[in-house]
Amino acid sequence: MNLGSLFRQDLELLARQSVVDGDTSRGTLAFLLDQGIVQTGVKLLPFFQHLVIKCGERGVVVIMRVSLEGKVSSAWGDKSREVSQRCVIARGKSNEAVVVQHFPPLAVSQVINVTGAGDSFVGVLLANLLQNPSTFQDPRTTNTAIFAAQSAAILSLQSHNAVSPLLSSLRISQPS
């Protein structure tokens, strides 16, 4: 995809960030490179436009290919390199860019049952995509969708049921 050395440098800066801001006990984002998560994701981009990778207690990584034309151009195209904001954007030679964004894990007060948390995450993410098929075309709607999916997973983690009954009444707003 001809992403260049600046992309690699930005990924190395991203890898030095803590998984959770202000909490070094959870480690850094180096696992994204050390385990080949980003490299594999980028290699899959010719086949899949958007990849959402759950990383358990280390959060979520979104790797995607976005067009820099039309409406998307004003959203992702205007977004600058924000390694400190856990987002790396590499503009290729074509009118496309590769976005790698890490979403830190949300706080979980108590884990009762891990069964169904991933299903809850995926279900809420898909519901978001059905409501707004252009979710991944804008950084704000991407952030809202991932936050909602993570919140759903937490509800299931804190439930004795595989899927929390609270999901049916879930109303999630944008994180502050």
Query: pLDDT tens digits, residue range 106-140?
Result: 988 888 988 889 999 999 999 999 999 989 988 89
Query: pLDDT tens digits, residue range 19-32?
Result: 998 888 889 999 99
Count of CA atoms in the C-beta half-sphere (13 A) of 13: 17
Residues 98 and 123 in one domain: no
Domain boundary among 70, 105, 140: 105
Domain boundary among 105, 137, 159: 105
- Largest alpha-carbon pair distance within the chain? 50
Residues 120 and 101 in one domain: no
Burial class of residue 26 in the structure, from the number of CB atoms within 10 Å of its CB (0-12 exposed, 13-18 middle, 19+ buried):
middle
pTM, to two decimals: 0.86
Pairwise CA distance, residues 148 & 128, whole Å: 8
Q: What are phi and psi of 35, to 5 degrees?
A: -95, 5
The pLDDT value given to residue 172: 53
Q: What is the mean pLDDT of residues 62-68?
A: 88
Residues 96 and 11 in one domain: yes
The number of beta carbons lying within 10 Å of the beta carbon of residue 47 is 7
The pLDDT value given to residue 79: 64
Query: pLDDT tens digits, residue range 70-116?
Result: 654 557 766 656 677 889 888 776 778 899 999 999 988 888 988 88
Residues 164 and 118 in one domain: yes
List the domain range (segments joined by +) for residue 85.
Answer: 1-105
- Cα dist. 140→37, 134, 146, 175 in Å? 24, 11, 10, 10
Residues 7 and 81 in one domain: yes
Domain boundary among 105, 132, 149: 105
